[in-house]
A and B are shown apart, each in its own frame.
Chain A
Amino acid sequence: MSSEPWGGNGSTMRSVSELLLSPTDFDLFSESETPDERLLEHGVHAPVLLWARAKDRPVVWGWTLLRRLSALGIGEVATVSVWGDGAEALALALRAEGRAGAYSWDELRRIGAGIRRLGLTRADAQFAELVMGRRGSVLREVERFEALPEVLRTTVRDGMLDLKTAERGAGLRESVLGVFVEGAARLSFSQRRVILGLLYEFCVLGDRPAGEVIGYMRTAFADPDPPAALRALRFPRLSELERRFGEIRDRNLSGSGVELQPPPGFEGSAFQVRFGFETRAQLLKRLEALQKLESRCDELFELL
């Protein structure tokens, strides 16, 4: 940072309309928050930042504010000149904006384009905390987003999927993705993640025809629990074990007050039973049910 980044001379009033004609290299934020209209009318707002080192003194931060003031018919605005180099000017703009981790994807793309336009690609990493609220590379993040098929970019932009999950779907056929997006709107964020992961596995698993995968999806979306329905299609043999187990349990223990659990994933050799009782009659009922189960337990052991 230079010794006098703020110019050291306080603010200066300038014409809003003239500032709106200045170079737009730093016009990066489309969703900036601006103060309430009454406050703006009384001049209560942060000053617009100008980059003193550049010839045309471009607006570094305050574009949204300027447009708002212009729309309200306010002719002048307080400005402060800043001196640093391009990286410092951009860092100041990001600090003034103060929305690390909350930028929209359109804004991220504009910030990425701004980094390139200002020749700051080598300094990319130093903006990561200010832009994303974490370490990393702003440009890489934008590249990953831009590499997605349009349909997935839209889902990420709309907050329906995170970038990493969307990338798993990038190899899926557009027809598959189309049906996914159509049905995904009704699901929770985590359900969408599960479903897209399963779709990815379907496709990697056996290069399934798109029509078959679409059929799976439609079946799942018609179910009250789409991730569970799709999981059953993805893991038919495990699902069959679960189904057979449920059938044996219900046939022998239904209404008895005895809970029966298989080992996780049917991996191991021990089933578990659990029950409580308050009276002799209840105990007798549980024991009779267990005795009934014992006489047919070979069916259970066949599942392991």
Chain B
Amino acid sequence: MSCLSYYKSRFTRFYAERAVAGREAVGRAARRLGLQTPIVIESREELPEEHRNEHTLVAVPTRGNAVDRCPGSRGHVCCNYLTIDLYAGCTLGCSYCIMQSYRNFAPLVVNVETEPIIAAVQTIAAANPGRRIRVGTGQIGDSLQLDPLFELSRELIEAFAAEPRVELELKTKTDFVDHLLNLPRKGNAIIAFSLNPPELVGAEEPETASVERRLAAAERALEAGYRVAFHFDPIIRVAEWQAWYRAVIERLRGFPAERIAWVSLGTVRFTTALRDAVPPRAYMFDEFVPSRDGKLRYLQPERVETYRYVRRVLERAIGRVPVYLCMESPAVWRRVFADRCAFPVGSLFAPLKLPDAQRSSRGPGQKARDPRPSGR
């Protein structure tokens, strides 16, 4: 994907709420879209019905909590990740995307007001001395799909550069990293790439960058001084899954383990509402069982087998790097990490103190339970 031509063909309308219409990031995005100014509205509710689609961008101020806890998943282990809703929505078209079943506003919404976010993260860091603060912008949108237009990640990276305990993660399925490479101060920012075998990317992630391009972008990020992370999530157990995942993991062989912040693993999971809402996909009709959070997951022994396999192949390819499981049950954690816990969970799984303003209704999915292996 070539950034600017991509944006011009993808997005045909740009609205900005009056409160943020004059901000630098809005003007920058408008110019790059070939517009003089965005269409100014009082509130996104004003958007005409015919423009409420994914060809429309809307710039808005921060509303509600600037930083929140990852909602986690009931009955599953929470890793105390914090989320920033910088970019809400995405047009990458992944077939498994849970947002298809619950997001009721199609335009892509960009929170261009970064000051409250920065202040909130700094407050959390101050309230948790000695703790690592893992925070990311890729929860309800792709961290970098729109970032070359708005350059909001730059503002966050520069603001957090002075606080080494803050690990800002920018998670993407694009290769849009070049606008971040020359920042003089990168702090502990981490550029993370979701990975799947090329065969699955082609079939299930139609608008994303190819694996080759993502890995080339990861190399550029690494050379520029960032740490990188990789997310194998969702892992889909097609017939050839072992060979396919082994092949994509082999491509990580050149990445130095000490520069990989973490690797997360998660097998595909979804609600029946999602399965009913999207065109039928064969992989969604594999054998699944309902988990404690109501989502369908592969049978537990198969998930354990999958994670063990991927972890083993990872270790052979890149050595020992921190590996964690996303939205998995304590039972699966124990079985996968029966030998040792690869991720330093002791410090991470104790809940962070969030100031009142950040104590939202979306508390962690469950009380953090230490998933480290217990004797049997």
Residues of A near any B CB (own CB < 8 A): 201, 204-207, 235-238, 241, 264-269, 301-304
Q: Is the CB of A304 within 8 A of B376?
A: no
Provide the bound-state CA to CA distance between A302 and B301, in Å: 8
Chain A residues with CB below 8 A from B203, complex form: none
How far does the Cβ of B28 sit from chain A's closest Cβ, in whole Å? 45
Nearest CB in chain A: distance from B334 CB, A: 7
The 5 closest A-B pairs by CB, nearest first: A265-B289, A269-B331, A205-B285, A204-B280, A201-B285
How many angstroms from the CA of A258 to the CA of B174 in the assembled complex? 56
Q: 6 A-B pairs, CB-CB below 8 angstroms?
A: A205-B285, A237-B299, A265-B300, A266-B300, A267-B331, A269-B330
Question: In whole angstroms, what is the CA distance A267 to B297 when docked?
Answer: 9
A246 CB, min distance to chain B CBs, angstroms: 16
Q: In the assembly, what is the distance between CA of A264 and CA of B290, in Å?
A: 9
Whether the Cβ atoms of A267 and B301 lie closer than 8 Å is no
B210 at the interface (CB under 8 A from A): no
B285 in complex: contacting residue of A204, A266, A302, A303, CB < 8 Å: A204
Q: Shortest Cβ distance from A271 into chain B, in angstroms?
A: 12
Within 8 A of A (CB), among B278-307: 280, 282, 285-287, 289-292, 297, 299-302
B376 contacts which chain A residues (CB < 8 A)? 301
Find chain A residues with CB under 8 A from B286 CB: 205
Docked pose: A265 CA to B280 CA in angstroms: 24
Residues of A within 8 A of B291 (CB): 265, 267
In the complex, A207→B334 CA distance in Å?
37
B309-353 contact mask (Cβ, 8 Å, vs A): 1 or 0: 000000000000000000001110011000000000000000000
Distance between Cα atoms of A201 and B286 in the complex (Å): 9
Which residues of A are found within 8 Å of B301, using beta-carbon distances?
A: 241, 266, 302-304
Of B282, B287, B331, B335, the contact of A204 (CB 8 Å cutoff): B282
* B291, closest chain A residue (CB): A267
Given A204-B282, A237-B287, 5 more pairs with CB closer than 8 A: A238-B299, A267-B292, A268-B300, A304-B300, A304-B335
Most buried by B among A238, A267, A303: A267
A residues in contact with B334, CB < 8 Å = 269
Query: What is the CA–CA distance of A241 and B287 in the complex, to the nearest angstrom?
Result: 12
Q: Which residues of chain B from 256 to 287 have any CB-CB distance to chain A below 8 Å in the complex?
A: 280, 282, 285-287
- Docked Cα-Cα span, A237 to B300, in Å, equals 11
Distance A30 CA – B335 CA, assembled complex (angstroms): 65
CA distance A237 to B237 in the complex (A): 14
**Cβ-neighbour of B290 out of A207, A265, A269, A302 (below 8 A):** A265
Chain B residue at minimum C-beta to C-beta distance from A266: B300
Alpha-carbon separation in the docked complex, A301 to B302 (Å) = 14
The interface residues of chain A, by DSSP majority, are classed as helix
Closest to B281 in A: A204
Q: Which of A205, A266, A269 sits near B289, CB closer than 8 Å?
A: A266
- A206 CB contact (under 8 Å) in B282, B287, B290, B299: B282
Interface residues of B in 334-376 (CB under 8 A from A): 334-335, 376
- For the complex, give the distance between the alpha carbons of A303 and B305 in Å: 12
In the assembled complex, which residues on chain B have CB atoms less than 8 Å from the CB atom of A206? Answer: 282, 285
Q: Which chain A residues lie closer than 8 Å to B287 at the CB level?
A: 235-238
Residue of A nearest to B330 (CB): A269
Report the minimal beta-carbon distance from B268 to chain A, rounded to whole angstroms: 15
Nearest-neighbour CB distance to chain A for B117, whole angstroms, equals: 37
CB distance from B365 to the nearest CB of A (A): 16
Is there an interface contact between B289 and A238, defined as CB atoms closer than 8 Å?
yes
Contact B282 A304 (CB under 8 A): no
Shortest CB distance B203–A (Å)? 14
Bound complex: CA A267 to CA B301 (Å): 9
Residues from chain A with Cβ under 8 Å of B330 in the complex: 269
A196 to B7, CA, bound (A): 45
Across the interface, do B282 and A268 meet the contact criterion of CB distance under 8 Å? no
A193–chain B nearest beta-carbon distance, Å: 15
**Complex Cα distance A205/B285, Å?**
5
Residue of B nearest to A268 (CB): B331
B292 contacts across to A, CB distance below 8 A: 267-268
Q: Are B290 and A304 in contact (CB under 8 A)?
A: no
Complexed CA–CA distance, A303 and B304 (Å): 11
Q: Which of these, A207, A236, A237, A268, contacts B329 with CB under 8 Å? A: A268
Give the complex CA separation of A211 and B322 in angstroms. 49
Quote the shortest CB–CB distance from B39 to chain A (angstroms): 35
Closest to B302 in A: A237
List of B residues within 8 angstroms of A241 by Cβ? 299, 301
- B285 & A267 in contact (Cβ 8 Å cutoff): no
With both chains docked as a complex, state the minimum distance between the C-beta of A232 and any C-beta of chain B, in angstroms: 11
B-chain residues with CB within 8 Å of residue A302 when the two chains form the complex = 301
- Complex Cα–Cα for A108 and B243 (A): 55
Report how far A265 CA is from B287 CA in the complex, Å. Answer: 11
Closest Cβ of chain B to A200, distance in Å, is: 9
Docked Cα-Cα span, A302 to B334, in Å, equals: 13
Q: Give the interface centre of B300, B301, B302, B329 by most chain A CB atoms within 10 Å.
A: B300
CB distance from A103 to the nearest CB of B (A): 28
Closest to B335 in A: A304
Q: How far is the CB of A201 from chain B (nearest CB, A)?
A: 5
Residues of A within 8 A of B289 (CB): 238, 264-267
By beta carbon, the residue of chain A nearest B376 is A301
**B residues near A207, Cβ cutoff 8 Å:** 282
Report the separation of the CA atoms of residues A303 and B289 in the bound assembly, to the nearest whole angstrom: 14
Shortest distance between the CB of B305 and any CB in chain A (Å)? 11
What are the residues of chain B within 8 A of A201 when measuring CB–CB?
Answer: 285
Instruction: Give every chain A residue within 8 A of B300 (Cβ-Cβ).
Output: 265-268, 304
Cα A207 to Cα B301 in complex, Å, equals 26
A268 CA / B332 CA spacing, docked (Å): 8
Residue of B nearest to A236 (CB): B287
Residue of A205, A206, A207 with most chain B CB atoms under a 10 A cut-off = A205
Determine the distance from Cα of A241 to Cα of B289 in the docked complex, in whole angstroms. Answer: 12
Q: A235-B287, A237-B287, A304-B331 are in contact. Are A266 and B299 (CB under 8 A)?
A: yes
The interface residues of chain B lying within 8 Å CB-to-CB of A238 are 287, 289, 299
